[in-house]
Amino acid sequence: MAVLKTINLKKYYGVGENQVKALDDVNLEIERGEFVAIVGSSGSGKSTLLHMLGGLDHPTAGKVLVDNKDIFRLKEDELCIFRRRKIGFVFQSYNLVPVLNVYENIVLPVELDGNKVDKAYAKEVIHILGLDAKLEHLPSQLSGGQQQRVAIARALITKPSILLADEPTGNLDSRTSQDVLGLLKVTSERFGQTMVMITHNEEIAQMADRIIRIEDGKIVEDGETYE
C-alpha cells in the first residue's frame, strides 16, 4: 500500500520566458516501509520534491497524498500538526538548538506538541544511535557525525511513519556518512518507517531499496537497487 503518492505534481517559478519548472508533472508512489533514494544533479528538482512530500512548500498544481490524505487541502495549522506527528525530517544542516543539550534537543518535538515523552522508546532510540554518553552535551561540544545522530533521534522521537532526509550526509566525511546512513537504515527498519532520502552521492543511494532519478523536474528513472 502506498503511504506517499504524488499526482501530476507541479511547481513553477516565474512566468513567460523566465518560468522555471522545478517539478513538471511528477507522479510517484512510495510503499509503506520502503527506503527510497531520490537522486539528481543540482537544480534537478529533488529537494523541491522532498519539500512537497513533507508539506513544507505548496505546489503550483497537483496533489500529495499521505495515507490517502490530500495534505494541501488541510488548513495551515492542521498541516503543521499533521507534519509534526506524521513526518520526521533530517536536514544537512542538523538544525539543533544551540542552548539545549542533546536530550533536550531530541525530545523537543514531543514537548512542543504538549505530549509526554515515551521514555522507554526514547532510551531505545538514544541507545541505537550511540548517544547514551552525550545526553548532557551541547551541540557545540559534538562532532558533525554526532550532531547528525542527534538530528536523527529528534526526527524519530515522535514515532513518525515517514522519515524525509535531505542530503543527511552532505556535511560529513565518507566514513561518517556510511555510519550515519547505516544507522538511518537500521532505525527505519527497526521502527517500521518509510524513508525517503535526497542525495547526489551514488554510493550512498545504492544503500536504498529503490532509486528515483529526477532531472529538469521530471522523473527519468525509477527502479530497485541490487545488492
Using one digit for the tens of pLDDT, what is the confidence trace for 151-184? 999 998 988 999 999 988 877 788 888 888 888 8
Question: pLDDT tens for residues 48-103?
Answer: 999 999 999 999 999 999 999 999 999 999 998 888 888 999 888 888 999 999 99
Question: pLDDT tens for residues 189-220?
Answer: 888 899 999 988 888 888 899 999 999 999 99
Confidence of residue 225 (pLDDT cuts 50, 70, 90): low
Strands (E), the chain: 2-13, 20-31, 35-39, 61-66, 69-70, 87-91, 162-166, 194-199, 210-215, 218-224
Looking at residue 24, its pLDDT comes to 94
- Closest by CA position to 198, among listed 39, 58, 11: 39
**Which pairs count as long-range contacts for 220-224, CB under 8 Å and 24+ apart, including other chains?**
222/28
Q: Provide the β-strand partners of residue 30.
A: 4
pLDDT above 80 for 133:
yes
Confidence of residue 138 (pLDDT cuts 50, 70, 90): very high
Average pLDDT, the chain: 90
CATH classification (class only), 32-59+86-224: alpha beta
For residue 71, give Cα distances in angstroms to 21, 49, 164: 22, 14, 16
The 3-class SS string of 177-204 reads HHHHHHHHHHHHHHCCCEEEEEECCHHH
Percent of the chain residues topping a pLDDT of 90 = 59
Domain map of the chain by residue range? 32-59+86-224
74 with 21: CB under 8 angstroms? no
For residue 26, give Cα distances in angstroms to 57, 198, 212, 227: 15, 16, 11, 28
C-alpha cell at 100: 539545549
Is 0.85 surpassed by the pTM of this model?
Answer: yes
pLDDT above 60 for 2:
yes
Report the distance separating Cα 79 and Cα 184, nearest Å: 25
pLDDT above 60 for 35:
yes
